[in-house]
Amino acid sequence: MLIVLCVITLILHVMPRPSIQTPYGVFFNSYLIDVLLPAYLFMLSTMQVYRMSRRIQENPLRFKLMLAGMVFLIGITIEILQYFHVPVLGRTFDPLDFLMYLFGVMIGLGIDFCVVRGSEMIKNRVS
């Protein structure tokens, strides 16, 4: 399910959209995708890497914070490349995108924390 959401978000980001001149349309066209992509990228990469390594499972909080930092750095790198007119997942530089990437990573961390914490609580009740 998460992979499908990631693909849909990526397609929405890349495909041309009509310019909607309402506050909601501007937010959707300019910033919503910049929040969703880092959140989905963080959650997807957390699920994949966490399954692969037993060493990561010993200290999951440190791993998740490092992964969140890496996802945020990817977003910063993309935005810096756009500043130098290199079209990577977009063409226009916007300094507010840095804040949107940070919000996206924080949302991903929050969802991951709630899902993992909730599944651990359910697992402990069943045991």
Extents of the domains making up the chain: 2-10+34-126
Which of residues 126 and 44 earns the better pLDDT score? Answer: 44
Distance in angstroms (rounded) separating the CA atoms of residues 85 and 91 = 7
The alpha carbon torsion through 98, 102, 104, 110 (nearest 10 deg) reads 180
Q: What is the pTM of this model?
A: 0.73
As a whole number of angstroms, the distance between CA 67 and CA 43 comes to: 10
Question: What's the pLDDT band for 127 if we cut at 50, 70, 90?
Answer: low
* Two structure tokens written together for 50: 């966490």
Give the integer Cα–Cα distance in Å for 36 and 4.
13
What was the pLDDT predicted at 124?
A: 61
